[in-house]
Amino acid sequence: MQNDFTQNQNNFQEEIELKKSLSSALARKIDLLAKLYGEKKITLDEISLILGLDKSEVSLIFSRKGLMKKKRIFVGGGAGFIGSNFIYHMLEKYPHYEIINYDVLTYAANIENLREAEKSPNYSFVKGDIADYEKLEEIAKEGIDAIVNFAAETAVGRSVHGKAADFIHSNVVGTHTLLEIVKNYKIPKFVQISTDEVYGTVGLDEDRTFFEDSSFLPNVPYAAAKAGGDLMCRAYFNTYKVPVIVTHCSNNYGPYQHPEKLIPYFIFRAMNNQSLPIHGDGRHIRDWIYVRDHCEAIDLILHKGVLGEVYNISADSERPTLEIAKIILELIGKPHSLVNHVPDRPGNDRRYSISAGKIAKELGWNPSNTFEDAMPKTIQWYQHNIDWVEKIREKDQDFTNYI
């Protein structure tokens, strides 16, 4: 007769045997799926459905087993707002990709943003200027599968009241230097991140929106410099078949945005019971997108976008600045009386409006976050990261001069 101990031991043994046979069946299944994936007979989405695993988990298993090629992605300007968010998106979703963050670290950069990323063996940082051909060559020589370029001077106020020459350096000369590297080192893909501001303004009473083939009519030095870089991309595709794709996105908001930009600036002022300066009548309309939705769109363009094409990216969420100020005040629990109208900025565009119909139709992209959900979580992020903002304010005391 078996006692309890022997019975438990037998059960345990059976359990181990069962696990062993299950895991070898699973290993065989994974190998078979990997083979089909290699032959392009099945997609990563289908595999993750079959295995009941997340796509990033499947990628990790495949790369650990040496079944998936490691890709080297060069991210220009990754220490800035959107670049930092994009790096986190990529490390989370493609744990087998190598990400090189290349940034010259202007006042707008914050390497602190990447502290978590630094823990990943697949992330590295190189300090350098995108207009420095020799420095770029050092990386290109080791092989790059794709460039995603966020590096740019981006603050409209600084381009109006500060040095427009800096904007020409990074946004035009820098983009041109990257194009030369892509051409000379035969890099397979270059995604240039640009803005809806290149199309210029729409009147408040006009029923008009900009499409990918609309003319460029920039009104401020920032937008003109971005347009210059974008046109250089077009010319390099047509002249040399450089594999470039350009994106035009609307205004982003979310974590890691420099507090000189409208939404974080308003959040801080409201938290500190300071007035929220509104240019002119506050009826200027901007189209707001949560930064992680923008990153998702870039990821899709990087993997599935058609070379030589241009894609507009927008969450179709146009709102007047005055409304943004009031929403922030309400969400933080502060009175509307903190709104303070100040003289308008020269060249301030009335309204930006782009259609994201092409990326939705051709690549199946749609934003996942609504303004109503993403704005409260953005405010919470800044409320929980006061130190992050205070450090920037200590480093760059005069940023409010350019708002």
Q: Which positions lie near ligand NAD, rule CB under 6 A?
A: 76-77, 79-83, 103-106, 108-109, 129-131, 150-154, 170, 174, 193-195, 226, 249, 251-252, 258
Rounded Cα gap, residues 332 and 320, in angstroms: 19
Residue with smaller CB distance to ligand NAD, 62 or 253: 253
222 among known catalytic residues: yes
CB atoms within 10 A of CB 98: 18
Rounded Cα gap, residues 380 and 358, in angstroms: 33
Q: Tell the smallest beta-carbon distance from residue 52 to ligand NAD (Å).
A: 36
Residue nearest to ligand NAD (CB): 80
Residue with smaller CB distance to ligand NAD, 68 or 223: 223
196 among known catalytic residues: yes
Q: Name the 3-class secondary structure at 34.
A: helix
Residue with smaller CB distance to ligand NAD, 83 or 221: 83
Q: Tell the smallest beta-carbon distance from residue 344 to ligand NAD (Å).
A: 20
Q: Tell the smallest beta-carbon distance from residue 89 to ligand NAD (Å).
A: 13
With a CB cutoff of 8 Å and minimum separation 6, the contacts of 309 are 212, 245
With a CB cutoff of 8 Å and minimum separation 6, the contacts of 233 are 175, 179, 190, 192, 242, 244, 246
Of the residues 98, 103, 196, 287, only one is catalytic, namely 196
Residue with smaller CB distance to ligand NAD, 81 or 236: 81
Are 47 and 33 in contact by the 8 Å Cβ rule? The answer is yes
Residue with smaller CB distance to ligand NAD, 37 or 288: 288
386: amino acid identity, one letter: I
What is the DSSP code string of 105-143?
--TT--GGGGTTGGGSTTEEEEE--TT-HHHHHHHHTT-
Assigned token pair, 318: 């146009």
Assigned token pair, 152: 């740019």
Q: Tell the smallest beta-carbon distance from residue 374 to ligand NAD (Å).
A: 14
Of the residues 102, 123, 199, 222, only one is catalytic, namely 222
Q: % helix / strand / coil in the chain, to the nearest 5?
A: 50, 15, 35
Half-sphere exposure of residue 369: CA atoms within 13 angstroms, side-chain side:
21
Rounded Cα gap, residues 368 and 155, in angstroms: 27
Cross-strand partners of 279: 342
Cross-strand partners of 380: none
Are 243 and 301 in contact by the 8 Å Cβ rule? The answer is no
Residue with smaller CB distance to ligand NAD, 75 or 270: 75
Residue with smaller CB distance to ligand NAD, 33 or 99: 99
Rounded Cα gap, residues 319 and 317, in angstroms: 6
Q: Tell the smallest beta-carbon distance from residue 246 to ligand NAD (Å).
A: 11
Of the residues 98, 129, 197, 299, only one is catalytic, namely 197
Rounded Cα gap, residues 222 and 195, in angstroms: 10
- Residues with a known catalytic role: 196-197, 222
